[in-house]
Amino acid sequence: MNRLLGLAAWTAGLLFFAPVAWMVLTSLHSEPDAATNPPSPAAPITFDSYAEFFDSNPWPPLINSLSASVGSTALVLLLAVPAAYALSIKKVEKWSDVLFFFLSTKMLPVVAGLLPIYLVAQHTGMLDNITFLAVLYTSMNLPIAVWLMRSFLAEVPREILEAAALDGAGLVTTLRRVVAPVALPGIAATSLICFIFSWNELLFARVLTGVVAGTAPVYLTGFVTSQGLFLAKVCAAAVVVSLPVLVAGFAAQDKLVQGLSLGAVK
Amino acid sequence: MTAVREAPTRAEPAPPARTAQLAAAARWARRAPLLPALVFTIVVTQLPFVATLVISLMRWNALDPAHRGFAGLDNYAAVFTDPDLRGAIGVTALLTATVVLVSLALGLVLALLLDRRFAGRGIVRTMLIAPFLVVPVAAALLWKHALYNPEYGLLNGVLTWVFGDDAPQPEWISGMPLLAVEASLVWQWTPFMMLILLAGLQSRPQDAVEAARVDGATPWQVFRHLTLPHLRPYLELGALLGSIYVVQNFDAVFTITSGGLGTANLPYTIYQTFYQAHDYGQASAAGVVVVLGSIVIATFALRVVSSLLREDDGRAANRTEVRA
């Protein structure tokens, strides 16, 4: 029975992983080998599709995605860490209302604000501008970051904070010696989650960017041509664009749940 | 901490006006770290929504700017009578409910399978998380071209392997468009549900389970009367967070079917109304309708999260008391 259930788990794991494995395998085949029926998994390995993908100059969109994701993540931390401090360690009055206000903004569908944001961008000349996109990603991720950071800072032991205050430790010393050791892993987890969400975003990028500031997901949607064989190339592009998220996600596997559930599940 | 803060005031009694001033200053010093984030959020997320509300009451087509004016509730009437938008409301509800419920059920099975010791558990867990970590557009492209393609997609390829040259070769996307979109989303969201439910299973008090086993409870009884009640808040959390994300889905519909064949959900339809038809008033009214729908879901979601938060703080408080 035990052996059977283990086998079931393995089967499920392999089934869910199969499309990812197939994506990688297809990206390593030549176009004719990638598009056969029945499939030819044992076809010779080639890196031609990757070479072709990088020849099509994907760097501007990749760099745009990187700057929007890294820039917005930095801005999110700058805003969220002090806010979380004011919601957990030195609490403002009505802190729980404030916390729920942040969460409620996450539940407002982004499409609802898309048009006014587009009009503002149009009138201020910020269309097709990566900084504008980074600001929007910041607003998208800020509630998640505030909740996550709060759940981490809430773990800072009260007794030690009080002892530090009694010993006359200044704010800087307290932050560095007592708060930072608990906060740093939280900051790392928060950064990874915010990075992933910004990197994945398509709707805002699709509507608000064009040739200059187009991000990697937008580039991917434009990558499919109706002419000729392209399957291996599409798979290679999908692998390259997904790679940062796969790496970040596997690295932060344990923090992934906490981030996705906004810190509600530990 | 309170005692520490009050100490200086007691030691050096200040005149009442000055005390009030100091107290106000202390309050603002507490609020200061919060304000940038709060102001930023209000400006970037709340003002656009107010603007959407205003535009939804206007007659405003970008291709016909001369006729801009107040329209009252006309746009809302249009949203509810336009067959496309009404269809989109139905599709959104169906898509969200199907994807969330199916991935929740699969996620529960997978979490139960992973909540046991077996060789290679870490590898299986990593493999199961992978679908969630593929960029959504990339995942949609992968399903559309590498799996669903009727001529050389993997699905029909496997059918050929199994049944030989006479194998059925269905047209997955045109034959079952909504199901095709749903399957790709279930594949991406099942790992999310599994992770949340697995965390729930692992926080289950083991002593109660042991006691029940010693008393001769069957695995089914343990699951039905101990595991499931314990998992309830996690199931609710997964369902509600999943709904919030899936109701907004754009990538899969946009990529796999381009909203065709009756798969256009509200986000896609709004995108199209405003991006292609340039009818700003009607797009905004549809946006407001989505928000009203989300508020219903969100109210439940907030209640669930809030109960988890209370439990959490309760635990923390108990811990402090015990230590003190």
ipTM: 0.89
pLDDT of residue B281: 86
Most confident residue range from A152-166, A207-221, B170-184 = B170-184
Q: Which residues 286-315 of chain B have a CB within 8 Å of chain A?
A: 287-288, 290-291, 294-295, 297-298, 301-302, 305-306, 308-309, 312-313
Q: Is A246 on the interface with B (CB under 8 A)?
A: yes
Residues of chain A neighbouring B287 (CB-CB closer than 8 A): 109, 111-115
Average pLDDT of chain B to the nearest whole number: 83
- B137 to A8: CB separation less than 8 angstroms, yes or no: no
Higher pLDDT, B323 or B101: B101
Question: pLDDT tens-digit profile of A107-126?
Answer: 777 777 888 888 888 888 88
pLDDT at A93 over 60: yes
Please choose, from the candidates B169, B33, B209, B289, the residue with its C-alpha nearest in 3D space to the C-alpha of residue A38. B169
pLDDT at B271 over 50: yes
Query: Can you give the pTM of this predicted structure?
Result: 0.85
Question: pLDDT tens-digit profile of B244-261?
Answer: 788 888 999 999 988 888
pLDDT at A223 over 80: no
A73-77, A138-142, A220-224, B179-183: segment of lowest average pLDDT: A220-224
Give the confidence band of B107 by pLDDT, cuts at 50, 70, 90: very high
pLDDT of residue A135: 93
CA distance A184 to chain B (A): 18
pLDDT at B324 over 50: no
pLDDT of residue B322: 41
pLDDT at B7 over 70: no
Question: pLDDT tens-digit profile of B272-321?
Answer: 877 776 788 888 888 888 788 777 777 776 777 677 666 655 555 444 44
Query: Choosing among A92, A93, A94, A115, which should be mutated to test the B contact, i.e. which has the most B CBs within 10 A?
Result: A115
pLDDT at B1 over 70: no
